[in-house]
Every structure is written in structure tokens, then in C-alpha cells.
Amino acid sequence: MSSEGSRRRDVTVADVAKAAQVSKAQAARALGNYGAVSEDVRERVLAAAEGLGYRPNELARSMNTGKSNTIGVVVGDIENPHFGLATRGITDTAKKSGYNVILINTDEERAAEVDAVQVLLDKRVDGLIVAPASSVETAHLKEVRDSGRPLVLLDRAAEGLDVETFAVDMGTISYESTKYLIEAGHRRIAFVSTVRTDGPYVAGMSLDSSQISDRLEGIRRAFEEEGLSQPMDLVRLNAGDADSIMRITRDLLKGPDAATAIIASDGLIALSVVEAIQESGLSIPSDVSLIMYDDFAWTRLTTPPLTVIAQPVYDMGMAAATALIRQIEGRKSSSPAGPPLEARLVRRGSVGSPKDVGVLSQAGS
Amino acid sequence: MSSEGSRRRDVTVADVAKAAQVSKAQAARALGNYGAVSEDVRERVLAAAEGLGYRPNELARSMNTGKSNTIGVVVGDIENPHFGLATRGITDTAKKSGYNVILINTDEERAAEVDAVQVLLDKRVDGLIVAPASSVETAHLKEVRDSGRPLVLLDRAAEGLDVETFAVDMGTISYESTKYLIEAGHRRIAFVSTVRTDGPYVAGMSLDSSQISDRLEGIRRAFEEEGLSQPMDLVRLNAGDADSIMRITRDLLKGPDAATAIIASDGLIALSVVEAIQESGLSIPSDVSLIMYDDFAWTRLTTPPLTVIAQPVYDMGMAAATALIRQIEGRKSSSPAGPPLEARLVRRGSVGSPKDVGVLSQAGS
DNA sequence: TTGAAAGCGCTAACAG
DNA sequence: CTGTTAGCGCTTTCAA
């Protein structure tokens, strides 16, 4: 209780200068260690600073240098392990280069994102990493671009916006995964995503998420190549919360035209899908096959372990931060691009052949 | 390509004032909306601002108001869903009151934490929420306190530091959970945690984490009450990474004195414990029982679903942010304290009776 | 209401 | 090397 608890005026360079008997400028130079300072002065200043408990005011510093050493990160949902891991990749990389991170959650709400970007700009962050909630409405991102502030995108691209984007090629992996299901004999393949749309899905429709469009396109392509056509009635967007996903799953699994395989667009969705399947008394993969996006540790522990599409999420965050910082510091891309950010299909136990594979094969085309 | 892409000078209040033909002071008042401004002036200024695309410089604003509307959050690992969820609770609450969050990850490294706190203070955040890596070495936190900046703790307490702390009562829930295992017939109950210690664990030893000390104490108490004593050879700290945890688990399950139940200190640990158990060809709960801390969605999907200790993690984050903001804004605690932050044991399928329950019972005491 | 002027704490010219 | 003098963009006296 010896030190006065309440907020006393901060110690400033002026105070330190006085104590060290030098000019404010010299003290500032020694403290900020820039410019030319004699050894003698430096020592006296540092000692005085130490004694007084001086701490630089980074706000003031940022004001005249125009640099805040802070980057803004805008994601849909930090609670989602996908973003948790990506954020870790970002913060780790940022820290190494001396940057801090201001994190804003948008809940995948466009209005919140517009707001977030504005706030970050007002706070004069040195650059922005955003995982755009919409790949279509990107006016606010264009503004960032135009303001001249470095910007990179994570996870999804933005239409008509030419900025570095760090995401895997969803079309290709989706194509491969679908192919894998088709080869196992599946024809009734469902796709479940939470992406919001105005109306029901029709092929080639423009979606808010480039990710999802690409995945759907990959599925279509795989079917087409076999001379089949994708069962559009099994594409379920707007999946919403856990209850809603379970309802959709039950619906998908019902009747003579039931799905025999489900692709879950992310780990959260898969959780509810699996729960609904278990509740229905069906089993994986003998009754239904399942593939989910993202490879989380728990997917190895379910019975059976899940076949997943693994994305190098941490690396994506790292690459995004690295590129952003390069832009901020005005360096040219030194290394070509870092590792290529590829997704891959991890075959575990949740994909099998549908029961009535013979019948379906004939029904195909 | 119409707007000049590169970084042009920002428009300032001075620019707006000139365009609106008023003094800088009046423009600033209208823009910052404080002080007294006539309707006429306000309109002209706002119009001019709009036209010029004026955006306030929050750094400058913070400099003279001494308020940054930013809070600093220091956690061990944002990749851990536990912190992901808590962070969500914090950011949601902060946003509602107009605060932003600077997030720093420490990797549970004390040095990194000391650094983080310093950086945040230098950036003049309005307050700090930290989940201390160590409950013992807390000098840096005391300094925060002394600097007069609001501070609240999350998840773990800090010795001899009288600040609001938001965490559940680990002693009680640990006691109850152990009791539950003992009643099921278990005597050989293991506890696995990643907390780092210098030497092997001895009862009552001071640990870096108040959380873990409390849990251990709860276990001890439960045994004691039954006239038994806790099997100290089954307390495994310093568990480290996944491989290390699997090794420890195999060791715990081996020999005549094998553990019949394991309490995993968090979800990440449980993941590796379960994996090791499965690899050993043993099954839960017939061969080994398991309880883990934190209730994640996936724990319902394993076979069997896991019995867990659920903590209101989101609420903890929310409560911490609420309290911090109250402190910042100098208000007295209005509502008593919000919901009481209680952990509860969720009985699912991973706890059963040990095979040789009869023998062990006799061996007891 | 208004405006002029003085800061906030620091960095950045510019002379010595 | 050192000190003086201006700012950075905003808020805040203080008079008018």
C-alpha cells in the first residue's frame, strides 16, 4: 500500500529530461533511441527514466510517426476453432515483427463488418486482415484499398477487389472429395452450409461466399464428369443454428430419395449433423457417409473417425500476416509466396458405400 | 481507378473547418459532438465533412482525452476453444459499450505476459483483462494495479493481488467430481495437467496455477472424507504436448497399480488421453473411466459421450468485461455480481465402475 | 455560441 | 552531439 494507488499523472520525457539535466529532445532521442546521443547523456537519461518509472506513450509516438504498430483483424467468429487457429497464426507472426493485433468479431454480419473496418481505420491501424462476410458486397473494402491502407483477405475472396487473398482452392478439393464419394457409389450427395441466401439455390447462382460457390461448383463438376447431374434438392443453404441443422439433416435422411452422403461445410455443422444421425438411430458409414471441412483433433475420436478436408488454417493466418506486414513495410515480396496453401482429403472412417449401391448405379445418369 | 490509390494526406478538422467557413474549434465541436454548436454551424460542418470524406483520428482524440476506448486482453492460447469462447464473451460485451479489444497471446509464458502487459499499458488501453500464466509471480500485475489502470483477472486468481477475479470455484467441483468417481468404486484416480512445476508434486505444494492447486485440493478432500488418501503417484503435472500426454497415459494404465479413472485438466489433454486409451485397445468406461474439464460440443459425439465438468466460459468473459468497464467508467457495482459462475458435472457415458471394484474396495483405507 | 490559443506527449526539422 | 522550435490532429480553456 506504499505507492499511491490512484491514477497519478504519467511521467513524460519532459520530466525525465529535467531529472537528467538535458534538453527534452536529447531525452527523447535517448529514450526512443533514434538520432545521435552521446554515451554520457544516454546513460543519465536512461537512469533518470528508470528512476522515475518512465513509460513511453505509444499513442503520442504513433501520432507523429504515423505508425501504430498495430494491425486490425476482422473475423466472423473467434469462437469457431477455424478462426481461433487462423488468429493464432496471425498473432504469432505479428508479434515476431513487433505488431499487435486488434481483433473484431462480426458474427458474419455485414453491417458489423463495415463498422469494424471503419473503427480500425479511425484507430489508424497500419493494415487490415479481413475474412469478408460477403464476397459480393465489398464497397467498404474498396474504400480501405482507396484510402491506401494495406489490406489482405483471409479465407474468402472479394469480387472485383484486387488484393492478396489467402485461402485454399476450394473448387479443386471439393471436386476431388465429391469424386471420392461418387466412386464409392454415392449419387445422392448432400451439401449443408450456413451461408445465407435470398432464395433457394439454383446452379451457378451468385452466393455471398466465394468459398461456398467454389465448393458447389466443384461438386457440380465432379458429377458432370461422370455424366451425372448434381442432385440439387440436396443442397441445403441457410442452415442456421444447431437445431435448424439437425432438422435439415433429418429431412435429408428421410424418404425413398434420402441422401446417402453428406458434406458438412464446417466443423460446427458436422457436429449437429452427426448428432442428428446418431439420434435417428442410423450409423456412419453404413447408413450415411460423411465428409466435413476442417480437420479438428476430435474428428479422430468419434466412432468412426471422420473423413475430413484439412485446410492449413494456421499457415493461412501466418501467410496473411506475413504478406500484410510486407506491404506495410513497403517491401517487395521476397520469397515467391510461401507454402502453397493446399487443402487435402484425409480419409478416415466416415465414408463407405451406400447400401443399395447397385440400384443407384443403374439409376445414375 | 478514379481515386488516387496511394496514401494521400488525411483530411483533418482544419480542412473541414475551412470548407465550412467556421473556426477549427467549432468544427471540432460539431464533429466530436461536444460543447455548444448552433444548428446552422453543425449542419454546414457535417456537410463539409461528408463531402471531404473526413474521418476522425482516434489516436489524436485519445491523446487529449486520455481515453482510448480500448481494452487489452491477455490470454494463454486463443487457439484453445476455452479462450476462444471466453474472448467472444469479452468482445461481445466490449462492443456493446463501445470498446475495442487488443488481444495478446502469451503461450502461457510468463515473460511474454510481462511484455504483453507492458505493451498494453504503453498503448494506453483503458483497462486490462488477463488470464495470468502464473498465480504466484504477479509483480507485473501489481504494477498495473499501482499504475491505477483498471484490471480484472480471468480464469485464475493471483496470490496477494486484490482484484476482481472471474473464475469458477474449482475446489468444490473437483471435490464433487472425485466423490462421484469414488462412489462408483474408483480408488486409483489419476489427474493429468500441463501445468509446469519444478519438481514432482507433493501435497499442498504451491503451484503456478491457482486453478490446479484448487482442483488437487478438491480431490484430496474427497479422498480424505472417505478415510482414504489420494494416490499421489497418479498426479501427473508437466504433461506437455500431445505425444507427452499419450506417453503419460500409457504409463498410467500399465501394471498392477494402474489407474482406473483419469481426470483430464482440459479438452486438449483429454483428446490425447482418449487417443492413447483407444490405441491401447482399452475401452471407456469398462476399462478406464474419464472426466474432462470443459464441455465442448464434440464430447457428445465420442463413444461413449464424455462425462465433463462444464464451466460457463462465455459468461466468465462477459462478466469480466462488464466488471472492467464498470471500473473504467468509475461506476459502483450496480447489480450484485451477475450470475454466480458455477461449474457443474455433466454425467454422460465415460464413467463406470472399475472391473475389480470388490478387490479395490477392500484394499481401500 | 463562437474563436483564438494553449496544450496532450512525442518526433522531426533546423541551426549551432 | 545538442538544444530550440515546430508541428501531429484533436480537445479544452478562456475571453469575447
The model's pLDDT over B232-258, given as tens digits with 9 standing for 90+, comes to: 999 999 998 999 999 999 999 999 999
Query: Residue B231, Cβ neighbours under 10 Å: how many?
Result: 16
Confidence tier at B325 by pLDDT (50, 70, 90) = very high
Burial of B221 (0-12, 13-18, 19+ CB in 10 A): middle
Residue B198 banded pLDDT, cuts 50, 70, 90: confident
Is there a contact between A136 and A206 (Cβ–Cβ < 8 Å)? yes
A19 CB neighbour count, 10 Å cutoff = 18
More confident residue, B142 or A338: B142
List helix spans (H) across B12-138: 13-20, 24-32, 39-52, 58-65, 81-96, 110-122
pLDDT band at B356 (very low <50, low <70, confident <90, very high): low
Question: How far is it, in rounded angstroms, from Cα A321 to Cα A128?
Answer: 9
Q: What is the gyration radius of the CA atoms in chain A, in angstroms?
A: 27
What does the mean pLDDT of chain B come to? Answer: 92
Give all strands (DSSP E) within A76-216, no chain letters: 100-105, 127-130, 151-154, 165-166, 189-192
pLDDT digits 0-9 by tens, B33-75? 898 999 999 999 999 999 999 999 999 999 999 999 999 999 9
Which B residues, 66 through 105, put their C-beta within 8 Å of a C-beta on chain A? Answer: 68, 70, 77-81, 83-85, 87-88, 91-92, 95, 100-105
State how far the Cα of A239 lies from the Cα of B144, in Å rounded to an integer. Answer: 46
Among B148, B271, B297, beta carbon nearest to A271: B297
Residue A56 shares a structural domain with residue A39: yes
Q: Is A139 on the interface with B (CB under 8 A)?
A: no
Given a cut of 70, whether residue B190 has pLDDT beyond it is yes
**In b/e form, how buried is each residue of B179-207, taking b as 16+ CB within 10 angstroms?**
bbbbebbbbbbbbbbbbbbeeebeeeeeb
Question: pLDDT tens-digit profile of A129-142?
Answer: 999 999 999 999 99
**Confidence at residue A335, expressed as pLDDT on a 0 to 100 scale:** 57
The mean pLDDT of A103-121, rounded to a whole number, is 96
Same domain, B249 and B325: no
b/e sequence B323-338, b meaning 16+ C-beta within 10 Å: bbbbbbeeeeeeeeee
Both A306 and A205 in one domain: the answer is yes
Q: What is the DSSP string of A189-200?
A: EEEE-----SS-
Interchain proximity A84–B88, CB inside 8 Å: no
What is the number of alpha carbons within 13 Å of residue B356 lying toward its C-beta? 12
| Cell digits of residue B91 | 468482445
A119, A92 contact by CB (below 8 A): no
Distance from C-alpha of A22 to C-alpha of A47, rounded to nearest angstrom: 13
Q: In this structure, are B119 and B231 located in the same domain?
A: no
Region A144-168: mean pLDDT is: 93
Residue B354 lies in a domain: no
Last residue of a domain, one of B264, B294, B310: B310
A200 and A248 inside one domain: yes
Which residue's entry shows cell 480408488? B187
Residue B246 inside a domain? The answer is yes
B100 contacts A5? CB cut-off 8 A:
no
Chain A residues with CB under 8 Å of B68 CB are 59
Indicate the residue of A3, A5, A122 with minimum beta-carbon distance to B56: A122
Half-sphere exposure in the Cβ direction for B1 (13 Å, CA): 1
Cα B359 to Cα B253: distance, rounded to the nearest angstrom: 18
Residues with CB under 7 A from strand C: A 9-10, 12-14, 24-25, 28, 31-32, 34, 54, 56-57, 60-61, 63-65; B 22-26, 35-38, 40-41, 60, 63-64
Structural domain count of chain A: 3
Q: How far is A270 from chain B (nearest CA, A)?
A: 10
d(CA A140, CA A238): 24
Residue identified by cell 477549427 is B24
Cα separations in angstroms, A301 against B13, B42, B306: 59, 63, 11
Residues A112 and A101 in one domain: yes
Q: How far is CA A176 from each of CA A4, A308, B41, B135, rounded to the nearest angstrom? A: 66, 12, 63, 50
pLDDT above 90: percentage of residues in chain A: 84
Over range A326-330, report the average pLDDT. Answer: 94
A111 touches B: beta carbon within 8 Å:
no
**Gyration radius of chain B over CA positions:** 27
Q: CB–CB of A105 and B122 under 8 A?
A: no
Is residue A365 pLDDT above 80, yes or no?
A: no
B347 Cβ partners below 8 Å, 6+ apart?
Answer: B180, B307
If contacts are CB pairs under 8 Å, which of residues 205-264 in chain B contact chain A? none
**CATH number of the domain enclosing B30:** 1.10.260.40
Q: For residues A115 and A33, which has the higher predicted lDDT (pLDDT)?
A: A115
Distance CA A293, CA A297 (A): 13
Burial class, B261, CB count within 10 angstroms (exposed 0-12 / middle 13-18 / buried 19+): buried
The integer distance in angstroms from the CA atom of A155 to the C1' atom of C15 is 54
In three-state secondary structure terms, B268 is: helix
* CB pair distance less than 8 Å for B79 and A77: no
**Are A195 and A208 in contact, with CB atoms under 8 Å apart?**
yes
- pLDDT for residue A358 is more than 60: no
Query: What pLDDT score does B335 carry?
Result: 58
In terms of residue numbers, what domain contains A213?
A: 170-310
Predicted confidence at residue B59, as pLDDT, reads 97
Quick one: pLDDT at residue B362? 40
Residues of B (292-331) whose Cβ lies below 8 Å from A: 296-298, 300-303
Exposure b/e, B5-17, CB count within 10 A at least 16 = b:
eeeeebbbbebbb
Across the range B303-330, mean pLDDT stands at 96
User: Is residue A6 domain-resident?
Assistant: yes
Partner-chain residue, chosen from B6, B8, B146, that has the shortest CB–CB distance to A5: B146
Cβ-based neighbours of A330, under 8 Å, separated by 6 or more? none
Judged by a CB distance cut-off of 8 A, whether residue B9 touches chain A is no
Cell numbers that stand for B42 in this block:
453543425
> What pLDDT, on a 0 to 100 scale, did the predictor assign at position A185?
97
Does residue A285 sit in the same domain as residue A337?
Answer: no
A–B CB contacts, 8 A cutoff, strictly below: 150
H or E element at residue B103 = strand B100-105
Residue B356 lies in a domain: no
For the domain that residue A133 is a member of, what is the CATH number? 3.40.50.2300
3-state helix, strand, coil in chain A (%, to 5): 45, 10, 45
Residues A273 and A262: beta-carbon distance below 8 Å: yes
- Between CA B294 and CA B313 the distance in angstroms is 8
Instruction: Give the residue from A310, A326, A360 where a domain finishes.
Output: A310
The answer to the question of residue A23 being in a domain is yes
Residue found under cell 468417481: B181
Residues forming beta bridges with residue B292, ordered by sequence position: B264, B308
B107 found inside a domain:
yes
* A299 and A191 part of one domain: yes
Q: Is the dihedral of CA A353, A355, A357, A360 positive or negative?
A: negative
Rounded CA separation A294/A82 (Å): 7
CB within 8 Å of B243: residues ≥ 6 apart? none
What pLDDT is stored for residue B338 in this prediction?
Answer: 64
Same domain? A193 vs A289: yes
More confident residue, A363 or A34: A34
> pLDDT-based confidence at A33, cuts 50/70/90?
confident
In a domain, B346, yes or no: no
CB B320 within 8 A of CB B166: yes
| Judgement on whether residues A138 and A191 belong to the same structural domain of the protein | no
- Asked, for residue A74, whether it belongs to a domain, the answer is yes
> How high does pLDDT run on average in chain A?
92
Taking the C-alpha atoms of residue A30 and residue B217, their distance in angstroms, rounded to an integer, is 51
**A179 and A304 housed in the same domain:** yes
- Type of residue numbered A293: Y
Grid cell, residue A306, equals 471422420
Residue B365 has pLDDT above 90, yes or no: no
Instruction: Provide the grid cell at A24.
Output: 527534452
- Stretch A42-49: mean pLDDT: 96
CB-based contacts of A91: which residues, under 8 Å, 6+ apart? A101, A321, B78, B103, B104, B105
| Residue A363 in this model has a pLDDT that exceeds 60 | no
Q: Which residues contact A312 (CB under 8 A, 6 or more apart)?
A: A168, A339, A341, A342, A343
Residue range A9-35: average pLDDT?
94
Confidence of residue B199 (pLDDT cuts 50, 70, 90): confident
**Helix/strand/coil (H/E/C) assignment for every residue in A80-105:** CHHHHHHHHHHHHHHHHCCCEEEEEE
Question: How deeply is A60 buried, as exposed, middle or buried, from its count of CB atoms within 10 A (0-12, 13-18, 19+)?
Answer: middle
Nearest to B128 by CA among B154, B89, B155: B154
Residue A361 has pLDDT above 90, yes or no: no
Say yes or no: A79 and A163 in one domain.
yes
